[in-house]
């Protein structure tokens, strides 16, 4: 069974601070995705990283995929209250799309 | 972009009754759909893989007789929670991958409360 360890589980910060969420596994994934979910809604895809060492930027969010494709990180610069939510990493290991989710990180950004 | 819908969005039922949740891909065909369960402030837990025209594949620890899955067409999968009990109360989410792409679209979820 492939596992994704996501940390931290909870993160409470002030507006303007930076933060990093980590996702680690002993298994190799063909690609890894990051989602954001708000209460009562389904997850929304933020990014997919495919190539080892890949870095993608989405405004204030920076996503990295480890060289060995076993780990990934999400860095948010100058966090805002609107960034509050549950962030999930998910690894794709098969061609038909089965996802393995990390435990999730609940981010709260205080004004 | 591709859209996945779920119906109902929330349901309250009495203990012992059965509840059916529908998952539809609105503008694409999905030979495979996934059903997840999510408890408050926790991650998604994969319950089963729904396969069009064949039996669903259940994850370890998920009772197939308790959670019946039917994938009768290329755009519809249903999850029936049979003889529901309060511990079945949860947020159920489906998703469907777009064939040939690693993008997977999630439904908005169904909140089930069993009294």
Q: Which residues of A touch B8 (CB under 8 A)?
A: none
Give Cα separations from B45 to A103, B26, B58, B61, B111 (angstroms). Answer: 9, 24, 12, 11, 15
User: Three-state DSSP class for A81?
Assistant: helix
With cut-offs at 50, 70 and 90, classify the pLDDT of residue B104.
Answer: confident
Residue A96 confidence (pLDDT) above 60: no
With cut-offs at 50, 70 and 90, classify the pLDDT of residue B98.
Answer: confident
Q: What are the backbone angles phi and psi of residue B87, rounded to the nearest 5°? A: -70, -10
The verdict on B46 touching A (C-beta cutoff 8 Å) is yes
Percent of the residues in chain A that have a pLDDT greater than 90, as a whole number: 78
Give Cα separations from B110 to A47, A111, B80 (angstroms). Answer: 24, 31, 12
User: Which residues, 6+ apart, have CB-to-CB distance to B55 below 8 Å?
Assistant: none
The pLDDT tens digits for B36-47 are 999 998 999 999
Q: Sign (positive/negative) of CA torsion A29, A22, A54, B4?
A: positive
Mean pLDDT for chain A overall: 92
Residue A1 confidence (pLDDT) above 70: no
The answer to whether the CB atoms of B44 and A101 lie below 8 A apart is yes
Return the closest-CA partner of residue A62 out of A99, A34, A95: A34
Question: pLDDT at position A2, please?
Answer: 67
The verdict on B93 touching A (C-beta cutoff 8 Å) is yes
Question: pLDDT at position A73, please?
Answer: 97
Q: How far off is chain A from B18, nearest CA to CA, in Å?
A: 22
């Amino acid at each position: 069974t492939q596992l994704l360890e996501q940390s931290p589980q909870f993160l409470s910060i002030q507006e303007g601070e930076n933060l990093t969420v980590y996702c680690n596994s002993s298994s190799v994934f063909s690609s890894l995705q990051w989602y954001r979910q708000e209460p009562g809604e389904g997850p929304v895809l933020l990014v997919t990283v495919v190539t080892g060492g890949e870095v993608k930027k989405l405004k204030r969010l920076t996503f990295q995929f480890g060289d060995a494709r076993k780990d990934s990180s999400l860095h948010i610069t100058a966090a805002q209250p609107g960034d509050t939510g549950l962030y999930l990493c998910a690894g794709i290991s098969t061609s038909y799309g089965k996802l393995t989710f990390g435990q999730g990180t609940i981010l709260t950004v205080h004004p | 972009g591709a859209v996945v819908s779920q119906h109902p969005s929330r349901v309250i039922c009495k203990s012992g009754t059965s509840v059916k949740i529908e998952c539809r891909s609105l503008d694409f065909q999905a030979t495979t759909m996934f059903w997840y369960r999510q408890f408050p402030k926790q991650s998604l837990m994969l319950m089963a893989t729904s396969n069009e025209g064949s039996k669903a594949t259940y994850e370890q620890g998920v009772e197939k007789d308790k959670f019946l899955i039917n994938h009768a067409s290329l755009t519809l999968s249903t999850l029936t929670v049979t003889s529901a009990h309060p511990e079945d109360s949860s947020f159920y989410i489906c998703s469907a991958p777009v064939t040939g792409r690693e993008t997977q679209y999630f439904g908005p979820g169904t909140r089930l409360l069993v009294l």
